[in-house]
Amino acid sequence: MNQAKALTADQDEVVIDDCWNRIGVWGKQQPRCPELEKVIHCANCKVYSSTGRLLLDRKPDNGYIESWYEQLRLVQRKKDHNATSVVVFRLSDEWLALPARMFQEVVDMRIVHRVPHSKSSVLKGLVNIRGELQLCVSLGRLLGVERHGISVDDAASGIYARMVVITDGEMRYVFPVSEVRGIQRYTPTDLQNVPATAERCSNNYMGGMLNIDDKQVGCVDPDLFFSALKRMLS
Amino acid sequence: MNVMLLLFSVGEDRYGLDVAHVVEVIPYIPLKRLPRAPDYVAGMFNYRNVAVPVIDVSALISGTPARRFLSTRIILVNYPAANGGRHVLGLIAEHVTETVKFDRSAFIASRVGVQNGEFLGALAMDDKGMVQCLEVEKLLPSEMREVLFRAEMPSPPVSGASA
């Protein structure tokens, strides 16, 4: 039988009776531990938890202490209650953002089933999301973003094209994007005006611009966006 | 009525601190020592741009400083200031790994008074034995309180609070 060992703070090895590996849930020896009747799983047992605490009787390593030292030195940023979150994503070369509350999920790319005789330029077709067919739209067409199509995964650089599911509370829409960067918090003061010469967006649905890591991100106004989407789909 | 205690140990004995006093529990980070201070004053450190004094509770209770384990923590507590405000005070304690709920009726007053041990409060029992409560307000002798918190007073001290 292997004996479990642990090091204490003085680097002494102590022998631990790892009963959970013998007569507990991770062992096969008979007879079974009588405590299991009461606690069902070793994780609920005091022997297991108090032995686990021995792990904390070790010397901390320097990196751990130093990182905490640095962290505690810093003044915590005050929470701004006006702050809202957006999900930042990329459509070919354009970085865009929509309010995070509208996002339902981000899924892998999947097949879009074309709808025959559809005249809408925005409607790409239908996609299967968890067994339900949802409308798949082209955000690039709607916003007038110049696009070279969603490129194939650039897996080497960790960039994956995704399908994004959003909702306005009533309807769900799916659209493909080149990349989803993540959630970003901002306060209204971070929002900059859209340049008057916003040439690439022929239809202006932008609520403002955000500068995130030296990228100009266009924040799409959700009300304008959804009303335009509905108009172009009907 | 339940009280939740943050447990720690000094030697073999268990002690507890009402969690209502606790601001944050942090690792035992390096401290700047205070020269000519009593042994139980472990030093100071920069806590979000405030110099926070730290007391070694092991040294205060038993005379032996706390050992540097992962489970040895600095418990940051709210400590009443002379002018009615609140200071942050750090307490170094060993084996800060659990909190336990006690019913208020489970406490028995400690009849044994120890000299210079006014901060040792009521006792509570559980299946592992006795836990003694630490009374944060009485932790520091008044002259020590003045010494430790004089440095961080942002405004001129209120009358009566000058050291």
Give A195-205 pLDDT, tens digit per residue: 766 555 545 77
Residue B158 inside a domain? The answer is: no
The reported pLDDT for the residue numbered B160 is 45
pLDDT digits (tens, 9 = 90+) for B97-128: 889 998 888 888 877 767 677 788 888 888 78
Q: Distance (Å) from the C-alpha of residue B78 to the closest C-alpha of chain A?
A: 17
User: Given the structure tokens 């070790």, which residue do they identify?
Assistant: A58
Question: Which candidate, B4, B48, B86, places its Cα nearest to that of A68?
Answer: B48
Q: What one-letter code names the amino acid at B162? A: S
How far apart CA A33 and CA A40 sit, in angstroms, is 10
What is the fold, at CATH topology level, of the domain defined by A84-233? Answer: OB fold (Dihydrolipoamide Acetyltransferase, E2P) (2.40.50)
Residue spans of the domains in chain A: they are: 4-73, 84-233
User: What is the distance between the alpha carbons of residues A146 and A181, in angstroms, rounded to a whole number?
Assistant: 20
- Structure confidence at residue B25 as a pLDDT band (50, 70, 90): very high
DSSP string spanning B22-59? EEEEEE----B--TT--TTEEEEEEETTEEEEEEEHHH
Contacting residues of A for B71, CB less than 8 Å apart = 53, 56-57
Query: Which ipTM value was assigned to this complex?
Result: 0.73
The tally of domains found in chain B comes to 1
Contact A60 B67 (CB under 8 A): no
Whether residue A62 is predicted with pLDDT greater than 60 in this model: the reply is yes
pLDDT above 70: residue B68 = yes
CATH number, residue B120: 2.40.50.180
Q: pLDDT tens across A82-109, in order?
A: 788 999 998 888 889 999 999 999 999 9
Three-state DSSP at A140 gives helix
Distance (Å) from the alpha carbon of B29 to chain A's nearest alpha carbon: 6
Tell me the average pLDDT across A115-139.
Answer: 89
**A19: distance to nearest CA of chain B, Å?**
21
- Among B48, B67, B70, the residue with its CB nearest the CB of A72 is B48
> Are the C-beta atoms of residues B122 and B7 closer than 8 Å to each other?
no
Q: Quote the CA–CA distance of B72 and B57 in Å, as a whole number.
A: 11
Whether A161 contacts A101, CB under 8 Å:
no
Cβ of B68 within 8 Å of Cβ of A73? The answer is no
Residues A9-29 have a mean pLDDT of 79
Q: Give the integer Cα–Cα distance in Å for B140 and B120.
A: 12
Neighbouring residues of B69: CB distance < 8 A, sequence distance ≥ 6: A9, A56, A57, A58, A59, A60, B94, B95
Structure tokens at A87: 């999900």
Side by side, the strands of the sheet bearing B107-108 are: B99-103, B2-10, B13-18, B129-134, B120-126, B107-108
Sheet containing A132-137: give its strands across: A103-108, A162-167, A172-177, A132-137, A123-129
Q: Does the pTM of the predicted model rise above 0.90?
A: no
Mean residue pLDDT across chain A: 82
**pLDDT per residue over A70-80, tens digit each?**
888 887 777 77
User: Could you tell me if B79 and B136 are in contact, meaning their C-beta atoms sit under 8 angstroms apart?
Assistant: yes
Judge contact between A106 and A164, C-beta under 8 A: yes
At which residue do the structure tokens 């004053």 appear?
Answer: B41
The span from the CA of A180 to the CA of A190, in Å, is 21
Q: What's the whole-number mean pLDDT along residues A52-73? A: 86
pLDDT of residue B73 exceeding 60, the answer is yes
Round to whole Å and give the CA distance between A169 and B91: 51
Phi (first) and psi of residue A134, to 5 degrees? -120, 155
Query: Residues A147-195: pLDDT tens digits?
Result: 555 555 566 677 888 999 999 888 899 999 988 999 988 888 888 887 7
Distance (Å, whole) CA B91 – CA B58: 9
Instruction: Establish if B159 belongs to a structural domain.
Output: no
Q: Which chain A residues contact residue B70 at CB under 8 A?
A: 55-60
Look at residue B155 and tell me if it is in a domain. Answer: no
Q: What is the mean pLDDT of chain B?
A: 84
What's the pLDDT at A149? 55
β-sheet with B73-80: strand ranges across: B22-27, B73-80, B86-93, B50-56, B41-47
Q: Provide mean pLDDT across the span B62-81.
A: 91
In this complex, is the C-beta atom of A59 within 8 Å of any C-beta atom belonging to chain B? yes
Higher pLDDT, A197 or A30: A30
B32: in domain: yes
Of residues B42 and A15, more confidence is placed in B42
- Answer whether A81 touches B (CB < 8 Å): no
- CB-based contact B93:B77 (threshold 8 Å): no
Inform me whether the pLDDT recorded for B20 exceeds 60.
Answer: yes
> Which of helix, strand or coil describes residue A215?
strand
What is the domain extent for residue B92? 2-150
